[in-house]
Amino acid sequence: MKSIETKAEYDTLLTKNMPILLDFYADWCGPCRSLLPTVEKLSEEYKGRVIIQKVNIDKNKELAAEFKVRSIPALFFLKDSTIVDLVRGVLPEKDLKEKLNALLN
């Protein structure tokens, strides 16, 4: 799963006209590391239907600031370039799937 490195990469994602899940994380964050396998699995499962991307807050401070990320992990669900849901912290896979399915409807 790819990580967004620049604001320009994020802007390009918005042109793809697909729902998006952004996972804001940091390498030093324990809860972020525990969530990573679930996010990677869902990235494969929803491939072609939802764009799932990681955003390292240490490497992409501009995007983290734009989304007003204050704690991580922070998962932003976007539809039509608008934030429609937000999760802070770790959620079970089942709950994340429900949110992704809601994003598709």
Superfamily the domain 3-104 falls into: Glutaredoxin (3.40.30.10)
How deeply is 99 buried, as exposed, middle or buried, from its count of CB atoms within 10 A (0-12, 13-18, 19+)? middle
* Strands across the sheet containing 74-79: 3-4, 51-56, 20-25, 74-79, 82-88
Residue-wise pLDDT for 84-98, tens only, equals: 999 999 999 999 999
* Positions marked catalytic: 29, 32
Structure tokens of 69? 């990320």
Cα separation, 13 vs 23, in Å, equals 14
Q: If pLDDT is split at 50, 70 and 90, which confidence band does 6 have?
A: confident
Please give the average per-residue pLDDT across 69-74, as a whole number.
96
Reported pTM: 0.94
Beta-ladder partners of 79: 82
Q: For residue 57, what are its two tokens?
A: 């807050």
